[in-house]
Structure 1
Amino acid sequence: MPCRRYVIYVAWNDKKYKLGMSANPQIDLSFLNRNEGYDHIAYISSPLPLAVSDYVLSTISKPQERIGKDYSSGLKLPLVSSPARSVKRIIDAKFKQVKKELEQLKEECFLEKPLHFSSKSISIDYFSLHRYEDALEDILAGRIYYRREIERRLKERGIELDNLDVLLHLSTLRGQVQQVPSIKIAEPDRMVCNRCGHHERIKKAYCNVGKRECYFCEGCLMLGESKPCEALYAAPARPRMQENYVKSVRLNLDIAFSLPQYEAFEALARFVRKDSLSEAMVWAASGAARPEVAYGAIREILKRGGRVLFGIPRKEIMEEMNYRLTQAFPGVTVAGVRGKVTKAVKDPDIVLASAYHALKYYRNFDLVILDEAEAFPFRACDMLVNALRRARKTDGKYVYITSTPDSAMYARAQRGEVKVIMIPLRVHGIPLPVPKMIVEKDIQGERKIPDSLFGLVRETIEEDLAQLLVVVPDQGTSARIGAFLREKFMEMAYGDADRLLMSTGCQDEEQQRKVNSWVRGEFPILVTTNLTRRGDVAPNTNVIVVYADNPTFDEGALLQLAGRVGWSDSYPTGKVWFIASRMTRPIEGAIRKINLLNEEAEKKGLLETGAVKRSDLKS
């Protein structure tokens, strides 16, 4: 399909003017003449790629000018010149601004002067197009699609349109549909993907269709190319009939909450019921969060006939979450969306979606939940976070459950822009183990093995009688540390070193077998780059992070690794060591946040409190 080009224009009558852009400005003039009384139009740019025309239009005009502005609006003195002179000055000024902006973008403008047209020569068959408006509205309600996707869904309904572009543009002019470039120009030297939100993964390419340099987004490439010349069309969800009344929703929650978990449950329910803030962060100690703390908030939304979206960072937990929600909310429709197969559930109350499917939603849900704690040891990707925020209705709520709050969300929470709900300790009520920092300056560059390492290994297996997880930045270091420890054990006549430790990494084909054996307690020491699943933890564990100042270990990774210690009742006081050549901001931040959680638990008098049975939540 050829690249569509868009013209920036000024439309006017004797009272007001407005700016817009269109691939066919005559359609705009016909519509504006019919509905708003505009009878003239002037092109102030040559045809441009969508992203270019969108950026230039937003730069040279104010929002009021794109809606329609009176000539005298904002003037302190009465308008003395005629409308014709006023609009001529406006058109000439805007034309100069367009040329200046295009010059900065290194785009050519082939117009020497604005081109003027009247409404007399334009005719559109509105009656024929009107027959398909309902189908288009139904397809786009609460969704964001490319033209090709809309065309495919119309064909599935037996509708084939030669003038789909005209119908889409008229819907845009009416304000029923929003049109944006798939990749937008944020600044002259910076682009952002409107589909997935990435800006650092925009790559240059040559467009064979447009015969010019172009761009695509590498972040969402597996969904098809996102390009500056392609449009995305979106429309908010329509109100549900159920939203007109309050209904009873049964919550079957037969579990034991700790006191902090129950307080978080109640706080989230109050948040969606009456809080003025639109976003809440549930900051939980690693291993202390559970999805059920959000079920009170979900019930509040369902009672009002609203819809809920659960963002799932890992597809492996989709079926488990589907089962848990179905059991907790009998009679409520729950749909899991992932891969190419989707269970056909029309207008479900609760939707579970992976990142790629969440990207298709637009202003659709009253409550959006991201349970990052369930992704352990992974963190939710930026694409999923961006998709979930876009899927929330403008007056909806967003809940972020995490043990490793990202810096941007944490900063917003500090400014009071996000409600913070804390679950500062685990069910057993023992304070979180605080990592001990060991600085060895001579290990900078990671060529020298830390002197303290073997002593900490012996302390773990001889004194604490615990298992040990030694985490390193890469697989080569894993093999080197593993060989060093084997040699040390042989020197001290510990016996068969292979029965004491194994080393592995992400490139090891036997990684999962070794991890499973360590989890089962078949050997005490595992040297690894990282673990891959929620279940890859042993109950009686200490952790050593070697070369913790390596960029691989950001603050979130260090918090997750520290969270592998002390979670079990059998060994709640496990030990964590960070060995590094220097203190870094991620190390300092991870230790500070663990201390903050412990201080919060102590301040609230929560230490060593027992579990509270909440069978009364079945109402």
Structure 2
Amino acid sequence: MEEFIGRQVVLSQARVQELNDPHFYIRPAMSIEKHVTCQRCGSQLAKAEHRLPSGKYFCSVCLKFGKLTSDDRLVSIIESPDSQLPREVLLTWQGSLTTLQQTITDRLLQSLQAGRDSLLWAVTGSGKTEMIFPLIHSVLAKGGRVCVTSPRIDVCRELYPRLKSAFVLETVLLLHGNSEESYCYRKLTICTTHQLLHFYQAFDLIIVDEIDAFPYEGDQMLRYGLKQALHLNGRLIYLTATPPLHLIREVEATFAIEKLPVRFHKRPLIVPECHWYLRWESCYKKPSRMKKFLKLLRELLQDNDVLVFCPSLSYMDALCRATSRFFAADIITSVHAEDENRKEKVEKMRQKKYRILFTSTILERGVTFERVSVIVMGANHAVFSKSALVQIAGRVDRKGAYHHGRVLFFYNQNTQAMRQAKKEIKEMNALAKKVGDT
């Protein structure tokens, strides 16, 4: 029975007829009118293109989550708020919030208790994960169910041990496309936003970390899944360091918006240094074109390890191979979203087993390394949006003592995204200085 609580399980009509319990909530998998509308992902589908020889309709948009046809049913059990009993929940986190963090957390709690959604706009390295612990505790203690979700697997993996250590007596479920753990009912769930498509009116609180990140940003299916996974009386909290303007306009009338411009250690964000690099696109082809890159890379390595962000996988592979000719093979590697050893490589970088890590934008957010500097190859490339550049710059000087971390943008065209990224970082630093944290 637990597999149906807050889930939407796909069953055939024959299986549904075997269910006699009145607690089951059963919906057609698709509504058929002028268009076919998938009830799992919200997509509207043209009838002619989605009709099977049998006459049934299917959804091609959420096919990767399992085949769904118009003959299927979505079966759930929706928990009633009346059935949720207060319980003792132990928050075992031993740290403390700064004065400003505590003030904003108190306001978020007030909004939550008043039934209002919130957006926390907090700079990278501000300690926003620790700020959500009291919010989670508040809902769990009332018997509610909480989900912390993010578009990025790496962010979910980072959150999992931190939440487990903060709530050691809670069994925390981690769900993503590569999860080794299968689904089971839990009061506290961490998952990617894709996994929310399997839930229906399940959570009293959903906290979305990195709300502006790909692939959630601009994806109507994932937006639909988020809203559908939220209990009718549930609340949303969005977390981001780089909210796009359209998001602010979308929520400003209904959400409480809290802004935290101060990093936890109170040091300013590192302002990027822009370095003109005429032939960065082909620098790996000739040693003479590598000179500028190698010179600055060696400078950075005197104080820190280095993350090198690249605009494409083919470019990353070529530059990594070319760079390997100038360094010991065991201190350099590359990583990307489809890398089977991605998790292990990131961990080895943390352990200082690698000194240079070439990466795609997959590591632009949600991951923390101590003592790193950053190079962005081709910061003018279209893949590097303003938000991406701000997030990438935020990888530097996130924790620990200051170690002269730097952010270098290599470019051959000064783009609006680059200008806006530098402007936003400087504005946040100015606001942090003005606000302070007494």
Matches within 5 A, 1:513-592: 519-521=350-352, 524-529=355-360, 538-571=369-402, 573-592=404-423
Q: Which residue of 2 aligns with 1:471?
A: 309
Counterpart-to-counterpart distance in 1, 2:90 and 2:289: 56
SS of the aligned residue for 2:266 comes to coil
Matched, 1:320 2:161: yes
Matched, 1:223 2:65: yes
One-letter amino acid matched to 1:209: S
Counterpart-to-counterpart distance in 2, 1:472 and 1:241: 51
CA drift of 1:583 comes to 3.7
Cα pair 1:272 1:301 within 8 Å, conserved: no
Counterpart-to-counterpart distance in 2, 1:527 and 1:342: 32
Q: Which residue of 2 aligns with 1:163?
A: none
SS of the aligned residue for 1:207 comes to coil
- Relative to structure 1, the CA distance from residue 468 to residue 232 in structure 2 (aligned partners, 3 Å threshold; closer, same or farther) is same
- Relative to structure 1, the CA distance from residue 511 to residue 391 in structure 2 (aligned partners, 3 Å threshold; closer, same or farther) is closer
SS of the aligned residue for 1:543 comes to strand
Q: Which residue of 1 aligns with 2:328?
A: 498
Counterpart-to-counterpart distance in 2, 1:518 and 1:552: 24
Counterpart-to-counterpart distance in 2, 1:302 and 1:364: 13
CA drift of 1:248 comes to 6.7
Counterpart-to-counterpart distance in 1, 2:7 and 2:339: 42
Q: Which residue of 1 aligns with 2:40?
A: 195
Cα pair 1:467 1:538 within 8 Å, conserved: no
Q: Deviations over 1:111-133 (max 9, x none)?
A: xxxxxxxxxxxxxxxxxxxxxxx
Q: Which residue of 1 aligns with 2:81?
A: 239
- Relative to structure 1, the CA distance from residue 379 to residue 541 in structure 2 (aligned partners, 3 Å threshold; closer, same or farther) is farther
- Relative to structure 1, the CA distance from residue 217 to residue 578 in structure 2 (aligned partners, 3 Å threshold; closer, same or farther) is farther
Q: Deviations over 1:93-145 (max 9, x none)?
A: xxxxxxxxxxxxxxxxxxxxxxxxxxxxxxxxxxxxxxxxxx9xx99774544
CA drift of 1:209 comes to 1.0
- Relative to structure 1, the CA distance from residue 192 to residue 324 in structure 2 (aligned partners, 3 Å threshold; closer, same or farther) is farther
One-letter amino acid matched to 1:285: V
Q: Could you tell me which of 232, 244, 250 is aligned with 1:394?
A: 232
Cα pair 1:237 1:362 within 8 Å, conserved: no
Matches within 5 A, 1:114-125: none
CA drift of 1:430 comes to 0.5
Cα pair 2:91 2:166 within 8 Å, conserved: no
SS of the aligned residue for 1:603 comes to helix
Fraction of identical pairs, as percent: 22
One-letter amino acid matched to 2:108: L
- Relative to structure 1, the CA distance from residue 143 to residue 408 in structure 2 (aligned partners, 3 Å threshold; closer, same or farther) is farther
Bigger shift: 497-506 or 385-394? 497-506
One-letter amino acid matched to 1:502: I
CA drift of 1:369 comes to 1.7
Counterpart-to-counterpart distance in 2, 1:597 and 1:235: 45
Q: Which residue of 2 aligns with 1:286?
A: 124
Matched, 1:258 2:98: yes
- Relative to structure 1, the CA distance from residue 597 to residue 573 in structure 2 (aligned partners, 3 Å threshold; closer, same or farther) is farther
SS of the aligned residue for 1:422 comes to strand
Give the gaps of 5 or more residues in structure 2: none
Counterpart-to-counterpart distance in 1, 2:128 and 2:140: 20
Q: Could you tell me which of 132, 142, 146 is aligned with 1:308?
A: 146
Cα pair 1:548 1:587 within 8 Å, conserved: yes
SS of the aligned residue for 2:81 comes to coil
Q: Which residue of 2 aligns with 1:272?
A: 112
Counterpart-to-counterpart distance in 2, 1:449 and 1:182: 54
CA drift of 1:572 comes to 5.6
Cα pair 2:309 2:358 within 8 Å, conserved: yes
CA drift of 1:471 comes to 1.8
Cα pair 1:142 1:238 within 8 Å, conserved: no
Q: Could you tell me which of 191, 195, 201 is aligned with 1:363?
A: 201
Counterpart-to-counterpart distance in 2, 1:514 and 1:229: 45
Matches within 5 A, 1:39-438: 142-148=6-12, 152=15, 155=18, 159=20, 181=30, 193-197=38-42, 204=49, 207-210=52-55, 216-218=59-61, 220-227=62-69, 232=74, 237-242=79-84, 251-274=91-114, 277=116, 279-311=117-149, 314=153, 316=157, 320=161, 323-324=164-165, 326-327=167-168, 334=171, 336=173, 338=175, 349-355=187-193, 357-372=195-210, 382=219, 385-405=223-243, 408-413=246-251, 415-438=252-275
CA drift of 1:545 comes to 0.8
- Relative to structure 1, the CA distance from residue 510 to residue 204 in structure 2 (aligned partners, 3 Å threshold; closer, same or farther) is same
Counterpart-to-counterpart distance in 2, 1:227 and 1:296: 42
Q: Which residue of 2 aligns with 1:96?
A: none
Note the aligned Cα RMSD (angstroms).
4.7
Which protein, 1 or 2, shows the higher relative CO under an 8 Å CA cutoff with sep ≥ 6? 2
- Relative to structure 1, the CA distance from residue 596 to residue 573 in structure 2 (aligned partners, 3 Å threshold; closer, same or farther) is farther
Q: Deviations over 1:378-400 (max 9, x none)?
A: 87685655433222233321012
CA drift of 1:560 comes to 3.0
CA drift of 1:431 comes to 0.4
Cα pair 2:147 2:203 within 8 Å, conserved: yes
Counterpart-to-counterpart distance in 2, 1:251 and 1:508: 35
CA drift of 1:500 comes to 9.7
Q: Could you tell me which of 291, 295, 298 is aligned with 1:461?
A: 298
Cα pair 2:158 2:367 within 8 Å, conserved: no
Counterpart-to-counterpart distance in 2, 1:178 and 1:509: 38
Counterpart-to-counterpart distance in 2, 1:514 and 1:303: 38
- Relative to structure 1, the CA distance from residue 323 to residue 541 in structure 2 (aligned partners, 3 Å threshold; closer, same or farther) is closer
- Relative to structure 1, the CA distance from residue 280 to residue 458 in structure 2 (aligned partners, 3 Å threshold; closer, same or farther) is same
Counterpart-to-counterpart distance in 1, 2:309 and 2:44: 31
Counterpart-to-counterpart distance in 1, 2:184 and 2:331: 49
CA drift of 1:325 comes to 5.0
One-letter amino acid matched to 2:60: C
Cα pair 2:307 2:356 within 8 Å, conserved: yes
SS of the aligned residue for 2:239 comes to strand
TM-score, normalised with respect to structure 1? 0.56
CA drift of 1:521 comes to 4.2
Cα pair 1:473 1:550 within 8 Å, conserved: yes
One-letter amino acid matched to 1:603: K
Counterpart-to-counterpart distance in 2, 1:380 and 1:423: 23
Counterpart-to-counterpart distance in 2, 1:561 and 1:378: 14
- Relative to structure 1, the CA distance from residue 512 to residue 199 in structure 2 (aligned partners, 3 Å threshold; closer, same or farther) is same
TM-score, normalised with respect to structure 2? 0.75
One-letter amino acid matched to 2:266: G
Cα pair 1:182 1:231 within 8 Å, conserved: no
